[in-house]
Structure 1
């Protein structure tokens, strides 16, 4: 019996080291929503970017995105400002969104946008046709337009800890 317990522990430990991959399935093609309970000076994604030419189509749990987006005129920053991004995941429990341990802080978003090893590049910049514009202007200049190739949005997470279950939402907060 003792030997069986050790083998079981080793199998569980090795499985944890290998990790598990989880795919986030979307339930709504509207990816972006204004965050609630924010001060009036906090802008939503639709106030930072003109998304009127951004096309989203949902087929089952997969969202296809194409078109373009432009930096909006409400985005008033200087090229010397550093753009920081806070990403936080929340889990739906007992009728409310609860914070999780899954948080990322990106100190320099423009650097991350152009780094092929970064999540921002993998999920966003990789699909921008005019990458040279992103490298040169980042998101500093109002009116700058980014053209997106048609692509399916798939969000996969590999976890070496506890498994994911249930509903999650992710909040992005951009600080300048």
Structure 2
């Protein structure tokens, strides 16, 4: 027969095992939730169309949580220079009680041009690993107007496994790019885009 302290230890162990098991979720995009303009963001930043010319990029929705991307993009970001430092900040929000609430999920880079192709970064898994002219893009990054970003055709599967047992509801990912000159002064045009949809357990 287990003593009380041992019972408590066993319960804690079981609870830890249950909580540490990753749960797979999928993100179902809303009708207008792909690359949507940022809502009520300070500074009134521009959308992704001010960063990329995506007229030769085709995006097809294969399933509720899978997009197929084929084609290339051209950098069109105005008022930035190749010598600028680019920062990236991504934050996930949940819609609760009529408002968007910040969650614990975020990612950032103080030097995106340096971190763009690091394999342990979220954006590498979902985007930059599919850039086939990476040698050129490492030099030009996303702050050199006219440079081409070539992609192999790939499926963007909006699924992830996380150690959160009850993650569900309406969410949005806000992605913000900002540029800073050599004096660390922020350029006037920032880029911000939202990806809105429903998260459900697979």
- In structure 2, distance between residues paired with 1:64 and 1:88: 24
Q: 2:130 aligns with which of 127, 133, 149?
A: 127
- Two-structure CA RMSD over aligned residues (Å): 2.4
Task: Answer 1 or 2: higher relative contact order, Cα 8 Å, separation at least 6.
Answer: 2
Segment of structure 1 superposing worse, 139-148 or 153-162? 153-162
More strand by share: 2
Q: Pick the aligned partner of 1:49 from 52, 58, 67.
A: 52
Q: Aligned match of 1:70 in 74, 90, 102?
A: 74
Cα distance in structure 2, aligned partners of 1:161 and 1:60: 24
**Contact kept in structure 2, 1:19 and 1:159, CA below 8 Å:** yes
Residues 57-91 of structure 1: CA deviation (Å, up to 9, x unaligned): 1122111111111101x432223221111111011
Aligned match of 2:145: 142
In 1, the alpha carbon distance for the partners of 2:29 and 2:164 equals 23
Alignment of 1:23-172 (within 5 A): 23-28=26-31, 31-38=34-41, 42-61=45-64, 62-72=66-76, 74-161=77-164, 163-172=166-175
User: TM-score scaled by structure 1?
Assistant: 0.85
The aligned length equals 175
Structure 1 residues 28 and 148, CA, compared in 2 at 3 Å: closer, same or farther? farther
Gaps of 5+ in 2: 180-202
Quote the Cα distance in structure 1 between the aligned partners of 2:143 and 2:111: 13
SS of the counterpart of 2:14?
helix
Identify the match of residue 175 of structure 1 among 175, 178, 189.
178
Find the aligned partners of 1:4 and 1:26 in 2 and give their Cα distance. Answer: 45
2:34 aligns to what SS in structure 1? coil
Distance 1:69 1:13 in 2: 45
User: Whole-Å Cα distance in 1 between the matches of residues 124 and 75 of structure 2?
Assistant: 18
**Distance in 2 (alpha carbons) for counterparts of 1:94 and 1:57:** 33
Uncovered stretches (5+) of structure 1, i.e. residues with no partner: none
For residues 40 and 165 of structure 1, do their structure 2 counterparts lie closer, same or farther at Cα, with a shift above 3 Å needed?
Answer: closer
Change (3 A) 1:111 1:23: farther
